[in-house]
Amino acid sequence: MSDLYFIEQQIIDAVRKLLTGKVNDVLKDLDFQIPFVEFGIFRGVNVVAPLIMISSCEQTEKERIVKQDIYSMSVAFPVLDSVESELFCFAYADAFYKALGDDVTLGGVVDRAVITAKKYVPPKKAGCGMDWETVISLRIIVERLYK
């Protein structure tokens, strides 16, 4: 395996660690049972596997001058349609907000990660087996280590 490790992969790995660590810890402390976050091919009533998407985004002139790379990230939590789906969506968003508030540098991988939006998406047709979804958008700032 190569020693080359791209910053984008480091960011994704840090977010995965946040989700399976601190987010699950927050969910565990709630008064009701919420499916935990896990990664892999798991899916069902006891587990949710979020989709993480990252892309570079437009920089301000100041960010270009001080050599900061800016990334846009979305974390989407698919939630099976049930009576508690909306509650689960709110719980994931709140747990992610609390976990990121405790670690805005994602374990020192980035300079700062900030939630820019939260979106709750119900299924287009209720009761048809389609999923609810919580989508959290982030803006991530990384100082360039190269010239």
Contacts 24+ apart (CB under 8 A), 70-74: 70/139, 70/140, 70/141, 70/142, 71/8, 71/11, 71/139, 71/140, 71/142, 72/137, 72/138, 72/139, 72/140, 73/11, 73/15, 73/113, 73/137, 73/138, 73/139, 73/140, 74/135, 74/136, 74/137, 74/138
Which residues have CB under 8 Å from 113's CB, separation 6+? 73, 100, 104, 105, 106, 138, 139, 140, 141
Does 2 reside within a domain? no
Identify whether 1 is part of a domain: no
62, part of any domain: yes
pLDDT of residue 4: 53
The CATH number assigned to the domain holding 117 equals: 3.30.980
- Confidence band of 112 (pLDDT split at 50, 70, 90): very high
- Greater model confidence, 81 or 98: 98
- For residue 101, the enclosing domain spans 7-143
Mean pLDDT along residues 75-83: 90
Reduced to 3 DSSP states, what percent helix, strand and coil does the chain have, rounded to the nearest 5?
Answer: 30, 30, 40
Q: pLDDT tens, 131-142?
A: 899 999 999 999
For residue 105, tell me if it sits in a domain. Answer: yes
Position 52 pLDDT exceeds 50:
yes
- Judge whether 38 lies within some domain: yes
Number of domains in the chain: 1
Closest CA relative to residue 60, chosen from 72, 46, 70, 50 = 70
**pTM for this one?**
0.87
130 confidence band (pLDDT: 50, 70, 90): confident
58 in a structural domain: yes
**Helix/strand/coil for 123:** coil
User: Has residue 130 been placed in a domain?
Assistant: yes
Q: Please compute the mean of the pLDDT values over residues 44-68 and round it to a whole number.
A: 81
Residue 3: per-residue pLDDT? 47
Q: In whole angstroms, what is the distance from residue 37 CA to residue 46 CA?
A: 9
Residue 2 pLDDT greater than 60, yes or no: no
